[in-house]
Structure 1
Amino acid sequence: MKLLKFVLFFICAFGIFEAHAQSSAELKRRRLELTNELENLRRELQETQSNKKSTLKQLNIIKAQIGLREEKISTVNSEIRLLNSQINENSNTVRTLQQQLDDLKKEYAAMIVFAYHNQSAYNKMMFVFAAKDFNQGYKRLKYLQQFGTYRERQAQSIQGTQQDLHVKINELDRTKHEKSDLLQEQKKEKETLAKEKSSQDQVVVGLSKQEVALRKQQREIRANIAKANRAINSAIAREIAEARRKAEAEARAEAARRAALAAEKAKSENKSAAEIAVAAKPKAITRSSDAQVLSATPEAAKLSNDFLGNRGRLPWPVANGQIIQGFGVYYQDGIKNDNTGIDIRTSSNSPVRAIFEGEVSKVVDVSGTYLVIIRHGEYFTGYVNLKSVSVSAGQKVSTRQTIGVAATDPSTGETSVHFELNQGRTSVNPKTWLASQ
């Protein structure tokens, strides 16, 4: 029973360790990604700081740095919590192994004492011959043979347990050292975060002197995004109306064909004129939903299913970028705004890519920049703020195909892309559909 409990304990401990190892690996990977992103932002901020005049781009970069820094600190905290849990588990394992080792040594010592008292062949023979009958004597003989074998196994168990204990103690030391390093990194990140928040305050003070011009820039940005949203909604509405018109036309033609066949059948059966008229009347067409008309054809239905099947794994519209404004309601300058997509800051002249195969629905000029709308069955993606495009309406595109180049705002020096995802007429959060960076 002791051996069974010991084995079960190690199976559970190994399973928990595997789960921790996986989570720890994911956290380490994300921490490394955040470190790289922060380094890119640091270099970009250095370039903008050569201009003594505070700019909106500086503020946006610092805000992005603060957001990433806070996420990194949160990631480090999660790693520390995992390490604390792992330290506790390893400490419990060490105590269990130590207790197991002590028990094995006590049992082995007792066997050694017994063997010492019965080491002579005479004593062993007397032990066997003192049996009541032949069967008992045979059992005593087998016992003496098995006793020697068991003693060897006990010695091997002691050695194995000592090795396991040594491994766990080393692992415990490594975990404690790793935790110490993370605590130092956490302290350093918090200090850097405080400096970044101080820098943000300084830039805000500098920008307050340019408040009128900046407010105008923000209004223009919001106006352009609103204009793009209207264009996207209009294009989707037209696509749905056209798909519905085609679907209803096909349904009417099919209803007329069926009615004609029913009338012919009624005539062949010599039914009355009234019965023939009823049979010849096409049935009313049931109005289909937007999703049904957009996925009416087998090709569109397959594209919709493939797009849905890749949720959470779709590539980003730019190769490198950070979200500077998420999906949903937010407040800026005391004004409530509703972002129906996400704003992604990227590098200058960054290519913009289709996130999935589909057909270009429309290309629109929005105040000097371009909007590209691509249909993927019942799903639509919108790519806003392109300085140039390399596709046209009606063109088939493939996943990751370049459709244009991101535009840079000359007043702020910031390059960004506004990206939207719609399921029919409904805006959905694109971040939940894109792959993790």
Structure 2
Amino acid sequence: MKLKKLLLSLLFLVFCSSGFAQSSKELTRKKEALQRDIELAQKNLNRTTNGKKLTLSQINAIKAQVRLMQEKISTINSEMKNLDNQITENTGKVHNLQTRLSDLKKEYAGMIRFAQRNQNSYDKMMFIFAAKDFNQAYKRIKYLQQFGQYRKKQASYIQGTEKDLNNKIVVLDKDLKNKNSLLKEQVNEKGKLDKKKNEQAVVLNQLSKQEKQYKQDISKKKQQQAAIDKDIRAAIQREIALAKKKADDEDRERQRIAAAKAKAENKPVPVTSSPKAQTNSEALRATPEAAKLSAAFENNRGSLPSPVANGYITSHFGTYMVDQASGRNEGVTYQTGEGAAVRAVFNGKVSTIFDKFGKYYVIIKHGEYFTVYENLKSVSVSKGQDVSTKQTIGVAGTTDGVPEVGFQIHRGSAPQNPESWIAR
């Protein structure tokens, strides 16, 4: 029974340790990814600080850095919390193993004393021959054999417990060193964050001095984006209209075939009716292929790859404020690296490519869904081409010298928040 309890305890310790290690690895990967984004934001910020004129990209880069730094500190705090839990758990395990080891040694010492008192062969023979009958004598012989085997097992348990205890002490020491390292990293990151916030305050102070010029730039960008969004909506509406026309044509063709068949068979010709009015969703999902693709796209909600392999979001979906100027984003905006590849987030067909204000815009159809890729320097696909998930469709363009890509998702003509579709 004691052996069974010991084995169950050890299995539980192994299970807990593996669960912690997995969580710790995930936090470490997240922290490393955040650090890469912080460094990328600094590179983009360096591109804009050479000019005297304050730009929206510069403000977005600083804000992104502050947000990423805060998220990194939060991740470090989660790592420390995990380590605190692990240290507490391992400390308890060490105490339990120490108690268990002490009990095993006391029990083993008692067996040794008993063996010493009965080590004389004559005493053992007398113990056997003192039995009342043959069965009892046989049981006493088996008892003496089992006692010797059990003593050997106890010695093995003691060695195993000592080994486990030493291993847990090593792990505990490692956890304490890791916590100390994380504390230093946390202090360092908080110092960087304070410095970045001071830099942000300087920029915002500069913004107030350039407020008039800055608001003019914002107004110009809003007008340009409104024109781009209008073209995007028009392109999607054309696709919807084509889908409805195709569905109507197919409905009429079915009626024509049915009428011709009835006439050939001398049966009453069915009354021809107007094509059934279809919703946008019904028209875009009219074919089995389109319905299957739409369902597959929906099933990947929350796990789609981002349109750039490396980058961070600087403008979120919906209405946003920059100082006193407001705007609206029908999708999200990524700042990325120079010459970054822009990739399709899911299988589909390129439905539209157009250029405006010196940049390219690509719309890919996924059944009743559309994904839009904005601000491309160049395009490597053509209209009507089938594309696959993560296939490169172009190269990121720049805004005020910073590589940026806009990304939108539409269900029919209704814009969706991409952040609820893209994997974090």
TM-score normalised by structure 2 residue count: 0.91
Correspondence 1:209-358 to 2 at 5 A: 209-258=209-258, 261=261, 267=266, 276=268, 280-282=270-272, 286-334=276-324, 337-358=327-348
Which residue pairs with 2:140 in the alignment? 140
Which residue pairs with 2:181 in the alignment? 181
Q: Secondary structure at the match of 1:371?
A: strand
Contact 1:326–1:339 at 8 Å: present in 2 too?
Answer: yes
1:55 Cα deviation from its structure 2 partner: 4.5
**Structure 1 counterpart of 2:417, one-letter code:** N
| Cα gap change, 1:359 to 1:47, in 2 (>3 Å) | closer
- How far does the alpha carbon of each residue in 1:258-310 deviate from its partner, in whole angstroms, 9 at most, with x for none? 35545766x56xxxxxxx36xx2246754444333213223333433443454
Q: Secondary structure at the match of 2:131?
A: coil
Mapped pair 1:96 → 2:86: no
**Structure 1 counterpart of 2:110, one-letter code:** A
Which residue pairs with 1:359 in the alignment? 349
Which residue pairs with 1:28 in the alignment? 28
Which residue pairs with 1:166 in the alignment? 166
Contact 1:55–1:207 at 8 Å: present in 2 too?
Answer: no
What CA distance in whole angstroms lies between the structure 1 residues aligned with 2:241 and 2:103?
80
- How far does the alpha carbon of each residue in 1:351-385 deviate from its partner, in whole angstroms, 9 at most, with x for none? 43333343222223333433221212222111122
**Structure 2 counterpart of 1:307, one-letter code:** F
Which residue pairs with 2:419 in the alignment? 431
Size of the alignment, in residue pairs?
A: 424
Which residue pairs with 1:372 in the alignment? 362
**Structure 2 counterpart of 1:416, one-letter code:** E
- How far does the alpha carbon of each residue in 1:195-218 deviate from its partner, in whole angstroms, 9 at most, with x for none? 100011011112222111111111
What CA distance in whole angstroms lies between the structure 2 residues aligned with 1:251 and 1:241?
15
Q: Secondary structure at the match of 1:323?
A: strand
What CA distance in whole angstroms lies between the structure 2 residues aligned with 1:184 and 1:138?
69
Q: How well do the aligned residues superpose, as a CA RMSD in angstroms?
A: 2.5
Q: Secondary structure at the match of 1:418?
A: strand
Q: Structure 1 regions of 5+ residues with no counterpart?
A: 269-275
Q: Secondary structure at the match of 2:176?
A: helix
1:243 Cα deviation from its structure 2 partner: 0.7
- How far does the alpha carbon of each residue in 1:75-118 deviate from its partner, in whole angstroms, 9 at most, with x for none? 11111111111112211211221121112112111111111111
| Cα gap change, 1:75 to 1:11, in 2 (>3 Å) | same
Which residue pairs with 1:418 in the alignment? 406
Contact 2:315–2:334 at 8 Å: present in 1 too?
Answer: yes
TM-score normalised by structure 1 residue count: 0.88
| Cα gap change, 1:211 to 1:291, in 2 (>3 Å) | same
Q: 312-321 or 172-181: which moved more?
A: 312-321
Contact 2:55–2:214 at 8 Å: present in 1 too?
Answer: no
Q: Structure 2 regions of 5+ residues with no counterpart?
A: none
Question: Which residue of 373, 381, 397 corresponds with 1:383?
Answer: 373
| Cα gap change, 1:263 to 1:163, in 2 (>3 Å) | same
Which residue pairs with 2:202 in the alignment? 202
Identify the structure with bigger relative contact order (alpha carbons < 8 Å, sequence gap 6+).
Answer: 2
What CA distance in whole angstroms lies between the structure 1 residues aligned with 2:229 and 2:51?
34
| Cα gap change, 1:332 to 1:416, in 2 (>3 Å) | same
**Structure 1 counterpart of 2:371, one-letter code:** T
Q: Secondary structure at the match of 1:90?
A: helix
Q: Secondary structure at the match of 1:109?
A: helix
What CA distance in whole angstroms lies between the structure 1 residues aligned with 2:49 and 2:242?
52
**Structure 1 counterpart of 2:169, one-letter code:** I
Q: 59-68 or 184-193: which moved more?
A: 59-68
**Structure 1 counterpart of 2:356, one-letter code:** V
1:315 Cα deviation from its structure 2 partner: 3.6
**Structure 2 counterpart of 1:378, one-letter code:** E
Q: Secondary structure at the match of 1:203?
A: helix
Contact 1:258–1:282 at 8 Å: present in 2 too?
Answer: no
Contact 1:318–1:350 at 8 Å: present in 2 too?
Answer: yes
**Structure 1 counterpart of 2:128, one-letter code:** V
What CA distance in whole angstroms lies between the structure 2 residues aligned with 1:83 and 1:369?
49
What CA distance in whole angstroms lies between the structure 1 residues aligned with 2:261 and 2:7?
76
What CA distance in whole angstroms lies between the structure 2 residues aligned with 1:53 and 1:285?
58
Contact 1:104–1:158 at 8 Å: present in 2 too?
Answer: yes
What CA distance in whole angstroms lies between the structure 2 residues aligned with 1:363 and 1:117?
96
| Cα gap change, 1:390 to 1:133, in 2 (>3 Å) | closer
**Structure 2 counterpart of 1:219, one-letter code:** S
- How far does the alpha carbon of each residue in 1:393-433 deviate from its partner, in whole angstroms, 9 at most, with x for none? 33444444444443323xx3333111101122222222343
